[in-house]
Amino acid sequence: MKKQYNGNVYISILDFYGGKYMINKGTKRLLSLVAMVIIMISTTLITVSGDTVRDYKIQEIGLKISLPAYMNAITRETSTNDLDMYLVAYSADATQTLTVTVTEDKNSKKVNNYNTLSESQLNTIKDSYQKNDGCESCSIENYNNLVYFTSMIQSKINNSTDAEVTYSMQGDTLVDGKYYHFNLVSADGAVSDDDKDLLTSVLESATY
Q: Which residues contact 53 (CB under 8 A, 6 or more apart)?
A: 66, 67, 68, 69, 205
DSSP character at residue 111: H
pLDDT of residue 161: 60
- Count of residues making up the chain: 208
Count Cβ atoms below 10 Å from residue 208 Cβ, excluding itself: 15
- Does this model's pTM top 0.85? no
- Cα–Cα distance, 121 to 118 (Å, whole number): 5
* Residues 98 and 90 sit within 8 Å (Cβ to Cβ): yes
Asked whether the CA dihedral 44, 27, 181, 95 is positive or negative, the reply is negative
* Residues 169 and 195 sit within 8 Å (Cβ to Cβ): yes
- Cα–Cα distance, 90 to 28 (Å, whole number): 17
Residues facing residue 33 across a β-bridge: none
Q: How far from each other are the two terminal CA atoms of the chain, in whole angstroms?
A: 31
Residue 96 has pLDDT above 90, yes or no: yes
Residue 67 has pLDDT above 70, yes or no: yes
pLDDT of residue 79: 53
Q: What is the mean pLDDT of the chain?
A: 78
pLDDT of residue 159: 58
One-letter identity of residue 52: T
Each residue's pLDDT tens digit, 23-37 = 344 444 454 444 444
Mean pLDDT score, 107-117: 94
- C-alpha neighbours within 13 Å on the C-beta side of residue 32: 7
Q: Which residue did the predictor score with more confidence, 82 or 17? A: 82
Relative to beta strand 165-175, strand 178-186 is: antiparallel
Q: Which residue did the predictor score with more confidence, 176 or 47? A: 176
- Cα–Cα distance, 44 to 87 (Å, whole number): 10
Which has the minimum average pLDDT: 76-80, 123-127, 149-153, 182-186? 76-80
DSSP character at residue 78: -
